[in-house]
Amino acid sequence: MRDEFDYDEDLSFSNFDDDEEDEDLGITFEEDLYLMIREKLRDTLQEFKGQYPMLKKLENAVSSFKVNAKNTDDSKFYPMAAKLLSEHIKPLTAESEEIEEIYDNMQADIARFKNQRAHGFEGDLYLSK
């Protein structure tokens, strides 16, 4: 059960390369998907913020994002956190086509919370692992 997610602390431990490691640690599908979304955002920002200066605003918004949801189990916490993160960065989409593209691409992964078989987005401005 998660009460809050801290971007800097939690992602420093999220370097998983295969499903066996995830299963050994007891990570739920929802947690794994949320961490993947955050990792894709982080990797995309690191890769492209020099090329697209507006991405620094997105990086600040993502790094300042925190969720507090006491007594919420993983199956509800992580989808809620992804939705709140999406809502947190949505206002920035009006400022940059690149941010809008990243936001739109992120929505494909967020949809996977409802349909685990859905294919997430992999592409130029939203990097896969």
**21-71: pLDDT as tens digits:** 444 568 999 999 999 999 999 999 999 999 999 999 999 999 999 998 888
Taking 70 as the threshold, does the pLDDT of residue 113 lie above it?
yes
Taking 50 as the threshold, does the pLDDT of residue 118 lie above it?
yes
pLDDT band at 20, cuts 50/70/90? very low
- Give the integer Cα–Cα distance in Å for 44 and 23: 26
Q: Which of 18-22, 41-45, 90-94 has the lowest mean pLDDT?
A: 18-22
pLDDT for res 4: 64
Q: Under 8 Å CB-to-CB from 80, ≥6 apart: which residues?
A: 67, 69, 72
- Give the integer Cα–Cα distance in Å for 116 and 129: 18
